[in-house]
Chains A and B, each alone.
Chain A
Amino acid sequence: MTNELYKSLYELLPQITGFIYPNEIEIHWGILVVVYPYLTGIVAGAFILASLVKVFNVKEVQPLYRLSLLTALSYLLVAPLPLLSHLGHPERSFEIFLTPQTSSAMAMFGFVYAWYLMAVLLLEIWFVYRTDLIHWAEGETGAMKWIHKGLALFSTDKSEGALAFDSKALKTITIVGIPSAFLLHGYVGFIFGSVKANPWWSSVLIPIVFLFSAIVSGVALVIFFYMVITPLTGGKINMKCVDKAVDFLFYAVIVDFSLEFVDFIHRIYQSEEEIKILSEMVMSKLFMSLVVIQVMLGMLLPLGIISITKIFKKRFSLNEDLRKMFYFISVLLIQFGIFSTRWNVVIGGQMFSKSFRGLTTYKMEFGGLEGLLYAFVLLLLPLVILAVLLKILPPWKEMREEGKGLNGETTGGLPAPGA
């Protein structure tokens, strides 16, 4: 294994430009550390979308409520995996819980994560689904009955008092949940933003930029899922809901873009000693992923597309399919854009030397624990988990609710899970 490492490092040598410190040839945080903030970003974004419904009572996006919660959960379950796999000693990772160093941002990972999973997401989902679970279990037989009974923790109380308590609990959890979601992703940003040795990361704006890009990626992904899953399950896409969600997404992208722009201008205006090497890096090694994919394809193009549907509202409101297609393309582009944002932050931050005199290079492996294939598995795993969750906790009722009347579609009563 070590020999392979040496070999791959020797291959990198000719690609180094300028002078870098000898220990800097190896890029230490690779694709897995790119995947990690991408996944947590989706969690935070999806949760904030769900909160929109609960706290701010945005009725139109109600069909996305449960889907966003389940999306958040399936991505949160996978989020620690990339971190764990990239440790030199994963078997010691529990030390973070047992002997955390309180001065370290990273040491708080376990606590922030556990808090968010246990105190926010799982709790909220449980209260949302409790009555349904009881309902479903009553009409079922076999394994599913027991799964639902078990998930309801064998509660059977459907009284008015219990329902009232459920909804009160939900309100409280969401209110605690929003700052927690902010904390979760702001904290991931802080891990980078607080590294003073690295001028590409070290910026107070980084946690905030992370937050807004999180909102962008989460909302875009839930819209995407909704647009794919609804037709697959025989439902009709509720365009009122999608319109509203895309509206929200549009403004989030604008805020995200402005923040990044401010950060950019600020760096150029301050023009500290590292500016030369950073601009060299952006113009050479990061040109494709930063300028082309992140900014042009991932931000400006979708902003333009959505703006067109807004400007020519009349024409587009007549042609729903065209609008759908435009939205679909935009949310996909945004997803790629945000992934490259993560890439540019994580990998970009390690490509220039802290001597500010040279650039190294990142060569991604294909196989192995730090490789592309495994990263793909990690990116796809939440989809598998989501599919299972959708089977056990179907959100169809929600997803179609608003569609009633609007599309002339009736779903009548609670569909059997998996319908």
Chain B
Amino acid sequence: MSLSAFAGGGRVNSRRKFLRDVLAFLVSGSAIGGVFQILPAKVLAKEAPRKGKWYGFGVSVDKCIGCTRCVEACKTETDVPREPFFTRTWVERYIIKRNGDAIVNTVETKPEGVPDSAADRSILRSFFVPKLCNQCADPPCVQVCPVGATFQTDDGVVLVNSKTCIGCRYCIQACPYGARYLHPRTHTADKCTFCYHRVSQNLLPACVEVCPTQARIFGDLNSVASPLARFRRMNKIHVLKPGLNTEPKVYYASLDGEVR
């Protein structure tokens, strides 16, 4: 079920480039007008630029203990409402039974939400999966935003400009990962920003900083020396919903096939 995000890297890339060229030719040649010439570049995948930074995120599923400190830190850092209906990041808990059934829930930020499963013999395995905006290289939310309020920075982070967002919520519908919500106070779309305000000051995202087990890793994909690059070298990596071709930049190690 889960496919490697990097299968046959080189060949895929050249094929993609070929397709893009063909499409660009067709579109520009069909005299639809200047507007549509912009489309191929936007619609097709954006690859990491050779120069500059290109941010990504790593999650080590094996290491996460479901303490939800990351969720708390995120809510505090970025003014996300305390209520459970709005969140930039959350932690899912999976319990896989011997008969193959999977029980999934979101770990509440209060500790009583986690029952003891060690004693239950019907359980095959259980684990936690932190989730956040996948900061796709080819983000559908950017594509659909009618006013360009959702945009991608040069370093690959998808942000929302709350001054121009009209609150139409098309981006929320377009996100396959449920990573977006409408902020109840600002009435604009909101989501994880990789803590852009911290990252641009050379600090780590709040969730990465507080994680006691280093289950969360942040870094520049273009830098060979970054912890993220090392994380990707040392682990078998998966991304979520690879079939949708959104090219997520949140990379999971030891991801279970049950996780969507």
A-side residues, CB < 8 A to B, are 2, 5-6, 9, 19-26, 28-29, 83, 86-90, 92-93, 95-96, 99-107, 109, 191, 194-198, 349-350, 353-357
A356 with B147: in contact, given A23-B181, A88-B166, A93-B166 (CB under 8 Å)?
A: no
CB-CB contacts of B35-48 with A at 8 A, as 1s and 0s? 11011001100000
Q: Least Cβ distance of A202 to chain B in Å? A: 10
**A104 and B260 contact, CB distance less than 8 A:** no
Assuming the A-B contacts A88-B169, A88-B187, A103-B38, are A197 and B146 also in contact, with contact meaning beta carbons closer than 8 angstroms in the complex?
no
Determine the chain B residues whose CB is within 8 A of the CB of A101 once the complex forms: 145-148
Q: Which residue in chain B gives the minimum CB-CB distance to A108?
A: B146
Residue contact B173 to A28, C-beta cutoff 8 Å: yes
Q: Are B144 and A106 within 8 A (Cβ)?
A: yes
List the B side residues contacting A107 at CB < 8 Å: 146-147
| Docked complex Cα distance between A92 and B186 (Å) | 13
Structural contact, A99 and B147, CB atoms closer than 8 A: yes
Proximity string of chain B (180-219) to chain A, C-beta cutoff 8 Å, 1 when within and 0 when not: 1110111110000000000000000000000000000000
Number of interface residues of B (CB under 8 A): 52
| Cα of A277 to Cα of B188 in the assembled complex, Å | 30
Distance in angstroms from B166 CB to nearest chain A CB is 5
State in angstroms the CA–CA spacing of A102 and B36 once bound together: 8
Q: Is the CB of B174 within 8 A of A106?
A: no
Measured in the bound complex, the distance between the Cα atoms of B179 and A88 in whole Å is 18
A/B pair count, beta carbons within 8 Å:
143
B127 CB–A CB distance under 8 Å: no
Which chain B residues lie closer than 8 Å to A349 at the CB level?
A: 173
In the bound complex, what is the Cα–Cα distance between A22 and B42 (angstroms)?
29
B260 touches A356 (CB 8 A): yes
Q: Binary interface profile of B, 99-143, with partner A (CB < 8 Å = 1, else 0)?
A: 000101110000000000000000000000001000000001011
* B104→A19 contact, CB < 8 A: yes
With the chains together, A88 CA to B172 CA distance in Å? 13
A355 and B167: CB pair below 8 A?
A: no
Of the stretches B50-58, B59-67, B85-93, the one at the interface is B85-93
B146 touches A106 (CB 8 A): yes
B83 close to A (CB within 8 Å): yes
Q: Is B147 a contact of A95 with CB atoms below 8 Å? A: yes
Tell whether A357 pairs with B260 under 8 Å between CB atoms, given A22-B84, A28-B169, A104-B145: yes
The reply to whether B175 and A96 contact each other, CB–CB distance below 8 Å, is no
| Highest count of chain B CB atoms <10 Å: which of A83, A89, A196 | A89
Task: Say yes or no for B165: interface residue by CB 8 A criterion.
Answer: yes
From known contacts A106-B144, A109-B146, infer whether A355 and B104 are also in contact, taking CB-CB under 8 Å: yes
Q: Is the CB of A104 within 8 A of B170?
A: yes
**Distance, CA A107 to CA B102, complexed state (A):** 41
Q: A25 to B146, Cβ gap below 8 A?
A: no
| Least CB distance, B128 to chain A, in whole angstroms | 14
Instruction: List chain B positions with a Cβ less than 8 A from chain A.
Output: 35-36, 38-39, 42-43, 81, 83-87, 90, 92, 102, 104-106, 131, 140, 142-148, 164-170, 172-182, 184-188, 244, 260
User: B87 — which chain A residues lie within 8 A by C-beta?
Assistant: 22-23
Name the one of B164, B169, B178 contacting A95, with C-beta atoms under 8 angstroms. B164
9 residue pairs bridging A and B, Cβ less than 8 Å apart: A2-B185, A88-B166, A89-B187, A99-B147, A101-B145, A102-B35, A196-B140, A354-B178, A355-B178
Cβ of B215 to closest chain A Cβ, rounded Å: 19
- Sample of 14 more A-B contacts, CB < 8 Å, known A355-B178, A357-B260: A19-B106, A21-B178, A22-B85, A28-B169, A28-B172, A28-B182, A29-B169, A83-B168, A92-B164, A93-B166, A101-B145, A104-B144, A197-B176, A197-B244
Residues of chain B contacted by A96 (CB below 8 angstroms): 146-147, 166
| Bound Cα distance A72, B170 (Å) | 27
- Alpha-carbon distance A243/B79, docked complex (angstroms): 63
Q: How far is the CA of A100 from the CA of B39 in the complex (A)?
A: 13
Closest CB in chain B relative to A339 CB, distance in Å: 21
- Closest A residue by C-beta to B35: A102
Asked if A9 contacts B146 (CB within 8 A), the reply is no
Residues of B within 8 A of A90 (CB): 166
> What A residues does B181 contact at CB under 8 A?
23, 26
Query: Which of A5, A87, A88, A357: most chain B Cβ within 10 A?
Result: A88
